[in-house]
A and B are shown apart, each in its own frame.
Chain A
């Protein structure tokens, strides 16, 4: 049997804030398989982003075991963790996070820089990724020369250029109008359906969550409801 994309047991994450301990996650168990499409829902401050950061290996759990692609992240040092992020995971952020003075093409190629690929190869792959999100005609544009929807599509191209197993998207439509939001969701749908990439998306909006085959509801740092609980 293939490893789960993510497997978390008893995950907690506590922050120390001026001597007070804030428990953002208080014991989360979850498994997300290869090729799943999952939406994480919950009220503000419930711990959704915290969970995404753990899954994306940007952060480590305070306690509990987290395996990403079958590997226990506690056993990895900083540089192996960076490597894991680079190969396994693509991020899409609410506020796009594109480099302002850099063309769409080079923004998309950025993850490949840290994979040690040469410029020609990077650009060829980035071009393909941009074409896949329908932005073949915007290669040389800078973020400031593109609409919000286009910028988020560039970010999606950047997330998929490294052919990751998972794309993690924290409120990817949060800064977009309905039409652009729908376009972005359509892209994520296709990514999941055509390429078998697992997609985990955090959202407030039920219509967005409806794209996912599985919904996980988080409240007060715990999973309140998981539509795929008995898997």
Chain B
């Protein structure tokens, strides 16, 4: 028998039992749909985080006290500004080292009050991070040296507090203290869930006085090129550990962050896909079940076909093709809905969903494989029926 003939015959059989075929496909459709959508969401999340990390700037090393790793508890910082000066000496170029002190504070203008992240930093911040200005100026060395009460606002924070009014030169009240706005940043988006457009930057010295502690949270170093990152990273950590023999320090690069986060999100995506894959297997069991019922129902037909000259492999092929058609048609419908669903999620919600060709190919391949795997047993049963017995069946 020709393959085209077998295909036509199988399609006909599925068409005749439309409702049953549809219901059987349903399990496969849901499984494939789930794989496509979950992988799209996982991939979207990964892409977003990667874009955020890359958006920070290039060749950045973040130095923090303690061990950084998955599950490690954050360490109370004991670093202060003298350590920053020390790191500057290690690095050589002082303009490539900056500092951060973070604290949650409320920022108020008139009756508008916004609770946000206050970051104390210095004039070198913009040498290391990509943080273009929209208006005004960056913090200056004089601001830091003289503990000026000046602030640079994130784009959204500025808009929230001042609306259409130009904030430059105006007053904001941070934790009860008045500051003068000297600059507004461009929109840069968020990193690790922190909306950087909501931040307010003030001189690090001013921030320390506001918080009442001489500590700093971290130091950022800009390497002069990708090849410089690793040696510099080692030098800084070694230097700090020499200065504080009892303590550990970590220096993470963007590449390492990307690697770690990529691995975590990749694993997460894999787990989601596997869970969705289980429903695909369940769908496959449904196909197997229905094919067995179908073989039983059509025992007489099988007997007749054999009497008329169908070989075992003709019958095997006929039922196998039916099973594979069930799962691949179901797979294609699932892919269509899954891609449509991902695009809808992408368009209507803040969840980033990116459909990847490999998840679509995989979902289709797996559904075809499920059809073969779960179709073989019923098809073999059909192929091995004794024609005499089959013809007598009621």
Contacts and interface: CB of A to CB of B under 8 A. Distances in A.
A116 B2 contact: yes
A56 B305 CA distance: 14
A114 B1 contact: yes
Interface string A75-115: 00011001101110001010001010100000000110111
B313 interface: yes
A82 B304 CA distance: 12
B2 A82 contact: no
A124 interface: no
Given A114-B314, A116-B1, A85 B308 contact: yes
Given A58-B306, A59-B388, A97-B300, A82 B311 contact: yes
A219 interface: no
A199 to B, nearest CB: 17
A53 interface: yes
Contact of B310 (A56, A97, A114): A114
Contacts of B310: 82, 114
B388 A82 contact: no
A118 B5 CA distance: 9
A105 to B, nearest CB: 14
B309 interface: yes
B229 to A, nearest CB: 68
Nearest to B310: A114
Contact of A79 (B303, B305, B307, B312): B312
Interface string B1-45: 110010001000000100000000000000000000000000000
Contacts of B308: 85-86, 91, 110-111, 114, 158
B392 to A, nearest CB: 9
Contacts of B311: 78-79, 82-83, 114
Contact of A110 (B16, B305, B387, B391): B305
Contacts, number: 62
Secondary structure class of chain B's binding surface, majority of residues? helix
A interface bracket (residues with beta carbon within 8 Å of B)? 20 to 34
Contacts of B386: 59
Given A86-B308, A116-B2, A79 B301 contact: no
A158 B304 CA distance: 12
A78 B312 CA distance: 7
Contacts of B307: 56, 58, 85, 91, 97
A111 B386 CA distance: 18
Interface string B193-205: 0000000000000
A53 B388 contact: yes
A118 to B, nearest CB: 8
B16 A58 contact: no
A40 to B, nearest CB: 16
Contact of A58 (B2, B301, B314, B388): B388
Interface in B200-242: none
A13 to B, nearest CB: 10
B309 A114 contact: yes
A111 B309 contact: yes
A79 B317 CA distance: 14
Contacts of A86: 308-309
Contact of B309 (A53, A97, A99, A115): A115
Interface in B281-333: 300-301, 303-314
Interface string B358-394: 0000000000000000000000000000111001000
Q: Which of A78, A101, A114, A158 has the most CB of B within 10 A?
A: A114
Contact of A85 (B2, B309, B312, B313): B309
Given A59-B387, A101-B16, 11 more contacts: A58-B306, A58-B307, A58-B391, A59-B386, A78-B312, A79-B311, A82-B309, A85-B307, A86-B309, A97-B307, A118-B2
7 contacts: A58-B307, A59-B386, A82-B306, A82-B309, A87-B309, A113-B1, A114-B305
Interface of A: 53, 56, 58-59, 78-79, 82-83, 85-87, 91, 93, 97, 99, 101, 110-111, 113-116, 118-119, 158, 162
Q: Which 3 interchain pairs have the tightest Cβ spacing?
A: A86-B309, A114-B309, A82-B311
